[in-house]
Amino acid sequence: MKFLAVSREARFSPNREQSDAAILAAVAACLERAGHSVDTVPENVLTDTDGYDGIFQMARSSAALDILDRADVPVTNTSQAVRNCGRIAQTRLLEGLIPDSMVCHGSADGWNRWPCWIKRGDGHAVNEDDVAFVHSLPQCSGDFVLQSHAPGFLVKFYGVRGTGIVDCYAAGVKDGKFGLERYNDSPEGRFIDMDMLTETAVKASDRLGVDVYGGDAVVAEDGSMKIIDFNDWPSFRTCTVGAARAIAKLILEK
């Protein structure tokens, strides 16, 4: 079979450009070792999807997602799944799995949960100031999300539909893109309930329709868990080889 791989633009991979490129290349290598062929195209030069038996992709630009919408072969992840991982969409779709949150359109009337997080509403965090921990509302305009702060330690996880959690770890400041983990408790000596984490992550992936995913969850002192971020096709930087095998298997099954 012949597959198309669509790579992610660097602007959507802050501090993770090499890791994002590595996981896509590793999946392509798995498929090629199985006797299939793979063409790789950057999302900013994608024009059509004709002539392929399947597509796996990390695109996030509207232009690329619109082109992928028209593909008549299986796509991993689908364009709609990527859109569902946008901040406003996932806030609505993951109600109950995330801390108390409110989608705002220029106004935050009625919000009284401080401190909290303010998050850009039009996409994923690509700059340091796209997500901020605040004790009062700064001057805002446009669309944004407010999310109550969940006390506890942070767990980062990676998953693939059909496999479940590929890897996870309790995270500190050194593990993040922008150092925001400093607002969470120290992860040292903490226990991760893998059954609960897997159940929570699979529920989120089902609601969003995303096959290849990763995210952040906060584990409270009583062991309860809330997702604070969920992403389509992350870097899998701690588990590239194992994740690539699981993703390639999923692509072939689809």
Between residues 177 and 215, which one has the greater pLDDT?
A: 215
Say if residue 115 is preceded by a cis peptide, omega within 30 of 0.
yes
pLDDT (mean) for 16-25:
95
> Could you count the other beta carbons within 10 Å of the beta carbon of residue 204?
22
The pLDDT of residue 140 is 74
Cβ–Cβ under 8 Å, residues 66 and 53: no
Instruction: Compute CA 175 distance to the chain's CA centroid, rounded to the nearest angstrom.
Output: 15
* Band (98; pLDDT cuts 50, 70, 90): very high
More confident residue, 130 or 253: 253
Enumerate domains of the chain plus CATH numbers: 2-77+241-253 (3.40.50.880), 87-148 (no CATH), 153-234 (3.30.470.20)
Residue of higher predicted confidence among 190 and 220: 220
Per-residue pLDDT of 164-200, as tens digits, reads 999 999 876 555 555 566 666 566 667 789 999 999 9
Q: Residue 187's pLDDT is what?
A: 62
SS3 198: helix
**How much is the pLDDT for 126?**
59
- Pull the structure tokens for residue 123: 């996409």
Task: Give the model's pLDDT for residue 129.
Answer: 73
Query: What does the pLDDT read at residue 189?
Result: 60
- Check residue 15 and give its pLDDT: 80
User: What was the pLDDT predicted at 228?
Assistant: 95
The reported pLDDT for the residue numbered 141 is: 74
pLDDT mean over 86-109: 94
Instruction: List Cα–Cα distances, 107 to 91, 192, 244, in angstroms.
Output: 17, 37, 43
Q: Shortest CA distance to 152 belongs to which of 229, 223, 230?
A: 223
Measured between alpha carbons, how far is 131 from 180 in angstroms, rounded to an integer? 8
Residue 232 in 3-state DSSP?
strand
Span 49-61, mean pLDDT? 97
Give 119's contacts (C-beta < 8 A, 6+ positions apart).
87, 125, 130, 131, 144, 145, 146, 147
Which pLDDT score is estimated for 247? 98
3-state secondary structure at position 38: strand
